[in-house]
A and B are shown apart, each in its own frame.
Chain A
């Protein structure tokens, strides 16, 4: 059974910092991995999708990497802004298994 964990559970940083969010999963036989952002009480906004044959994806200030052999993915956010404050979720597998999320606060 696939299990997904995310570290840290919460993070508070000053504006402008670079930061890394971590996602770990137990079953490396995954189709793909997707990172999402969720604002309070809202749905999920897709940030990056890494397909199983890929190791990395980039979009603007965001970069996500995938290491299937070690069961890990990282989401790198460069030059954080207050608008980045949200919960970040990773999901893996065919019937997406989600981690519990990392709650990010970027302070002005």
Chain B
């Protein structure tokens, strides 16, 4: 059983650029959630995808968008990057929308915006 995998592991972008982060969910999981973790803080919920539909969104602007594919993998897209977008982006998958069996997290993508 494979866990949650994220790519790339590290990324450096320039302010104003666009970035796409990728996540493969754990086998048997149909729900993917994305989190942003700034240095020294707890992760903040960005949004969740369940069966290819957005199923909840945190307090993030529309330039943060996502997709979920039929195989339940997911992408996080961020447009018009700002310096404050520099963070660790974490993907988590679960067996259902309410995570009755908890979340499994990937190792994250470290995004640096310069």
Contacts and interface: CB of A to CB of B under 8 A. Distances in A.
B3 to A, nearest CB: 10
Interface residues of A, number: 23
Interface of B: 6, 33, 35, 41-45, 48, 56, 58, 88, 90, 92, 97-108, 110
A51 B33 contact: no
A44 B105 contact: yes
Contacts of A49: 101-102
Interface stretch (A13-21, A61-69, A72-80, A88-96): A88-96
A98 B99 contact: no
A43 B105 contact: yes
Contacts of A51: 100
B108 A42 contact: yes
21 contacts: A31-B98, A31-B99, A32-B98, A34-B103, A36-B105, A41-B110, A43-B6, A43-B90, A43-B106, A44-B43, A44-B90, A45-B105, A46-B102, A46-B105, A91-B43, A94-B98, A96-B35, A96-B99, A96-B103, A98-B44, A100-B42
A43 B4 CA distance: 10
A96 B33 contact: yes
Interface of A: 4, 31-32, 34, 36, 41-46, 49, 51, 89, 91, 94-101
Given A41-B110, A95-B45, A99-B42, A46 B103 contact: yes
A46 B105 CA distance: 8
B42 A95 contact: no
Nearest to A45: B105
Contacts of A44: 43, 90, 92, 105
